[in-house]
Amino acid sequence: MRTEQPKVIHLKDYQAPDYLIDETHLTFELFEDHTLVHAQLVMRRNPQLGMDLPPLVLDGQQLELLSLSLDDHLLTPAEYQLDDSQLTLQPPHSEFVIDSSVRIHPESNTALEGLYKSGSMFCTQCEAEGFRKITYYLDRPDVMSKFTTTVMAEQQRYPILLSNGNPLASGADDQGRHWATWEDPFMKPAYLFALVAGDLWCVEDSFTTMHQREVALRIYVEPENIDKVQHAMDSLKKSMKWDEEVYGREYDLDIFMIVAVNDFNMGAMENKGLNIFNSSCVLAHAETATDAAHQRVEAVVAHEYFHNWSGNRVTCRDWFQLSLKEGFTVFRDSQFSADMNSATVKRIEDVAYLRTHQFAEDAGPMAHPVRPDSFIEISNFYTLTIYEKGSEVLRMIHTLLGAEAFRQGSDLYFERHDGQAVTCDDFVKAMEDASGSDLTQFKRWYSQAGTPRLSVSDSHDAQAGTYTLTFKQSCPATPGQSEKLPFVIPVELGLLDSKGQPLALRLQGEAQATGDNRVLSVTEAEQSFTFVDVAEKPLPSLLRGFSAPVKLSFPYSRDQLMFLMQHDSDGFNRWEAGQQLAVQVLQELVGQQQRGVAMAMDERLVKALCSVLNNEQLDPAMVAEMLSLPSEAYLTEISEEADVEAIHAAREFARKRLADDLFEPLWQRYQDARVQSRKQAYVAEASHFARRALQNMALSYLMLTEKPKVLTACLEQYEACDNMTERLTALAVLVNSPFEAEKAATLANFAERFKDNPLVMDQWFSVQAASTLPGGLERVQALMQHPAFTLKNPNKVRALIGAFAGQNLINFHRADGSGYRFLADLVIQLNALNPQIASRQLSPLTRWSKYAPERRQMMRNELERILASGELSSDVYEVVSKSLV
């Protein structure tokens, strides 16, 4: 915990390291009440910086220094300076060896950073700056070293001892302790270091690489979870193959390991050869994990595996370049998921998520560019902007260059920078060099924050047969950036004639048409494009596949949107047209509600969704996506000033109306799907996901009608199904229903059935925390007393507190401010336990500017209260102080 004012770190102050660490030899002696860490660092002056010998400043926090030697000479305290974050000493020569021994306390580490215990297991999390809590080191990503690690522990409690790289040797003493030595032949920064010790079982498999090398694959879990690992293993093998085929990337060690731990601050970590995962991102079994959980496991396994090249072999020079590895790797995992499942559905999910959450971040007090200029606490910058917007930036490069040139660019990048710590500029340069294109202006996506707005107008000249689209772009001010220069915005589009047929596209000045779909590159604040040979006024289909992360507006009428829903050849834009129609209709209802007039819904939405529901040709997953109305969070994001109650009332009114009017087709599709589900055993595969998605979407509407036969069907589904997707949906719709007796009985049944499975209990907490029925806060407070709940486990905090404050808007924003008070109290408590989790949970309060003055004031008051609450971690301090500006 910090006492002095925290320091702001700036990208412009970057300096190469004074010293390098060629070799790092670590020995860990693990005990129940402390751990000893002995480190030998083989160091030298960075030859690029000269031959003088500046003082050596090593990072170190919460370490008890036991001994320190330089070139075998034991140093006295007079020969070095020590404070709570640094150890400074004077090297005698340009090459030297430092030996240190420190004592640390993983057994009481609740921040889950550095070395800590999760249950009975030891594990590490070093990214970004956790290694300095393990030993004195140059804890920065541009210092890469060759690591050898020996782990010593009691044999009985910790039969498995793991670290990065390949196993080198192992042995035991006669006191019941044993040891294992691991050697990682690849140079790596300290943030990729990992250690695990525990009583673990593993599932083993192997993969033959493109050059016929055998790689052993092992997934380690606690014994009770050994039956839930196969899906992760299958996902790993698919990822390894895909990365060879699509990016030409081959795995490089003899062994690849994944370890599942229950207490983890995020999803997973790509430590070299030894990925450590939140168990929620590894374990998946039909009976205990939903389809969404299966897909998340597949995606996270792929993401961490892909980091082996995009992150580990080529890493970041400094933490301002975080998106270099994260944006690229998210882009790679999204391509992978698109290839494994439905590409259109994947894109819809990603875009809905980006627009709801990243756009909100970009419009809030923590807005920052994909490559930030400064930060106080790097842990706060593992954001939607770095990850999701970073991925969109890569996707735009892919769109502008084309798949082939993009691949050449990525090959050049990996070849040119293998073994180096580099910058986003280096990545773009490789893309430019390989493709011969100039991305100078494009790079503004890295440096300018905020979501650009792109407003489009059109005109048709019947006489000349020309059609002109005019684009105007602007970008709102963000913290520290008032003026923005125009972005390069790739706009993929097509034009539809009055029969819905695509037009051949020929721009003025071109010799001939080039297909009916193309990408325009909008580079100026205002820019027009004129198409020729256009006899009648067409309807444009703009920003197909969401080709750029912008807020596009075009004055579509509702009839035009219905037309696009039916005829657009781009699946994503058919969904998008439906969403825009729904937004228009819902905003009209919000207005009626605010004016106090009776809500009356535009029939056209019912009609449009009816024809979607009756379309047997359409992928059922697409039908489910199209039936799902824009979320309250999204409606909030696109409002100037969000009216919490009116948005909730309008959306619920529309859902009820759709349920009543579409009862028959919904019932039909529900029953058809349920019959199939009953017949076929669970398979984690796209067509099955699709069927269940539609079935469950239908059920959630049907339950709104409160008809006895739906209740019966829901209870039947709950009881008779063979998988968590159907069971959890049945539970969730009951929880949101007025059937109190059935709700209570089913909740109790579920808790009893799954009381020994913490991940399933997380779902049980979430479903209740997200219920929008009145009394949400009291329900959450009561659940916090449940024996399965603890603030020390991040998954539990996310399941209960995160779901309440992030998804249950009507309850969290209760007019008396009690939801805000509750969250602030928790953040104050969590700040002392786990700063990273505290700072993440805080984010709903940072969105105060979206709300009416009274709510704003209450939210700000709570932020003030947190600020005044005592010693704050730098994590919480940064978010709170920036939010109050």
The DSSP symbol for 267 reads: S
Alpha-carbon distance 81 to 76, whole Å? 10
Query: By rule CB under 6 A, what string of x and - marks binding of each residue 246-275 to ligand B3K?
Result: --------------------x-xxx-----
Task: Please report how close the Cβ of residue 383 comes to Zn ion at its closest, in angstroms.
Answer: 12
- Residue 320 or 877: the one with the smaller Cβ distance to Zn ion is 320
Starting from the edge strand earliest in sequence, which strands make up the sheet with 539-541, in order?
A: 518-522, 489-496, 539-541
Token pair of 502, please? Answer: 């695509």
Task: Please report how close the Cβ of residue 198 comes to ligand B3K at its closest, in angstroms.
Answer: 21
Token pair of 458, please? Answer: 């059109």
Token pair of 751, please? Answer: 């808790």
128 binds ligand B3K (CB under 6 A): yes
Task: Give residue for tokens 């006899």.
Answer: 535
User: Which of Zn ion, ligand B3K, none binds 643 (CB below 5-8 Å, type-dependent)?
Assistant: none
Binding ligand B3K by CB under 6 A: which of 127, 291, 625, 726?
127
The DSSP symbol for 597 reads: P
Query: By rule CB under 5 A, what string of x and - marks binding of each residue 589-628 to Zn ion?
Result: ----------------------------------------
Task: Please report how close the Cβ of residue 4 comes to ligand B3K at its closest, in angstroms.
Answer: 23
228 binds ligand B3K (CB under 6 A): no
- Residue 43 or 282: the one with the smaller Cβ distance to Zn ion is 282
Alpha-carbon distance 323 to 381, whole Å? 10
User: Which of ligand B3K, Zn ion, none binds 127 (CB below 5-8 Å, type-dependent)?
Assistant: ligand B3K
Beta carbons within 8 Å of 440's beta carbon, 6+ residues apart = none
Beta carbons within 8 Å of 3's beta carbon, 6+ residues apart = 871
Query: By rule CB under 5 A, what string of x and - marks binding of each residue 326-345 to Zn ion?
Result: x--x----------------
User: Which of Zn ion, ligand B3K, none binds 382 (CB below 5-8 Å, type-dependent)?
Assistant: ligand B3K
User: Which of ligand B3K, Zn ion, none binds 692 (CB below 5-8 Å, type-dependent)?
Assistant: none
Contact at 8 Å (CB) between 60 and 135? Answer: yes
- Residue 316 or 797: the one with the smaller Cβ distance to Zn ion is 316
Alpha-carbon distance 242 to 398, whole Å? 18
Binding ligand B3K by CB under 6 A: which of 142, 298, 304, 625?
304
- Residue 379 or 579: the one with the smaller Cβ distance to ligand B3K is 379
Binding footprint of Zn ion, residue count (CB under 5 A): 2
What length does the chain have? 885
Long-range contacts (CB closer than 8 Å, 24 or more residues apart) made by 705-708: 705/656, 705/659, 705/660, 705/663, 706/737, 706/738, 706/739, 707/663
DSSP 3-state of 680: coil
Query: By rule CB under 6 A, what string of x and - marks binding of each residue 365-404 to ligand B3K?
Result: --------------x--x----------------------
Peptide linkage before 128 cis (omega within 30 of 0)? yes
Binding ligand B3K by CB under 6 A: which of 139, 298, 318, 326?
326
Stretch that binds Zn ion, among 124-132, 142-150, 319-327, 625-633 (CB under 5 A): 319-327
Ramachandran area for residue 479 (φ above 0: left; ψ -120 to 50: alpha; else beta): beta
- Residue 116 or 701: the one with the smaller Cβ distance to ligand B3K is 116
DSSP 3-state of 299: helix
Residue nearest to ligand B3K (CB): 127
Binding ligand B3K by CB under 6 A: which of 231, 249, 294, 303?
303
Binding footprint of ligand B3K, residue count (CB under 6 A): 12
Beta carbons within 8 Å of 767's beta carbon, 6+ residues apart = 728, 731, 732, 735
Q: Active site includes 304?
A: yes
Token pair of 781, please? Answer: 């407070």
Largest distance between two CA atoms of the chain: 96
Contact at 8 Å (CB) between 51 and 94? Answer: yes
- Residue 222 or 326: the one with the smaller Cβ distance to Zn ion is 326
User: Which of ligand B3K, Zn ion, none binds 360 (CB below 5-8 Å, type-dependent)?
Assistant: none
Q: Find the catalytic residue in 304, 349, 576, 632.
A: 304
Positions of E strands within 740-877: none
Residues forming the active site: 304
Interface contacts to ligand B3K, rule CB under 6 A: 127-128, 266, 268-270, 303-304, 307, 326, 379, 382
